[in-house]
Amino acid sequence: MYKRRKALNEQHQQQLIAIAQASIRHGLDHGRPLSVQMGDYDAELVKEFASFVTLKISGELRGCIGSLQAYRPLVLDIAENAYRAAFNDSRFSPMSQSEYEKLQYHISVLSTPEPMQVNSEQDLLSQLRVGIDGLILTLGNRRATFLPSVWEQLPDKSDFLNHLKAKAGLTLDYWNESIELERYTVESFGD
């Protein structure tokens, strides 16, 4: 089952958003992410968890970068992912000062991904939980994920899966038993 953790309190959430903001500000000023001091934060924030940082301007996506596996302290993961979302998301040019002033921040802290056992595409669709599950699809060196928030744009299970396949570079009708699937949940907060 999913690796659960105590939910982050409002103060922790505000601290993580402040780290994301400071890391981008530091990136604008110094060309690198903020160097986070672990001793400045509660134990809950220095545990290893994966996260995504989503940046928007006027409700429109401006950058989204994250990690799927927990391998570093959450505060460091947030600082690095915020910096990368602002300056290294290949869909956008690097963040400008004028854009920084308008940013909206959204953070998703991921549960440990859970491998899914499915016999067919229909079996997968029957197991997916709309609005709850994030999904990772892996086939060889192709890998793609959708956060649970993508359900807001793609509430139909088939559409969700087909768009994820396309993101991974697969055709919509492609199905193979060697596809690896993992699902996860998120704790999400921010603008």
CATH number (domain holding residue 123): 3.30.1490.150
179, 122: one domain: yes
Boundary (domain end) residue, out of 74, 90, 110:
110
Domain-located, residue 190: no
Q: Would you say 27 and 87 are in contact if contact means Cβ atoms under 8 Å apart? A: yes
Mean pLDDT for the chain overall: 95
SS3 60: strand
Contacts of 151 (CB under 8 A, 6+ apart): 130, 131, 160
Domain-located, residue 83: yes
* Position 19, amino acid: I
- Residue that the structure tokens 């994030």 belong to: 134
Domain-located, residue 45: yes
Q: What digits encode the pLDDT tens for the residues 28-61?
A: 999 999 999 999 999 999 999 999 999 999 999 9
Mean pLDDT of 82-103: 97
Q: Would you say 109 and 49 are in contact if contact means Cβ atoms under 8 Å apart? A: yes
Whether residue 161 has pLDDT greater than 60: yes
User: Read out DSSP for 108-174?
Assistant: EEEPPPEE---SSHHHHHHH--TTT-EEEEEETTEEEEE-GGGGGT--SHHHHHHHHHHHTT--TT-
The pLDDT value recorded for residue 5 is 57
Boundary (domain end) residue, out of 63, 89, 110:
110
73, 120: one domain: no
Mean pLDDT of 62-80: 97
What is the tally of structural domains in the chain?
Answer: 2
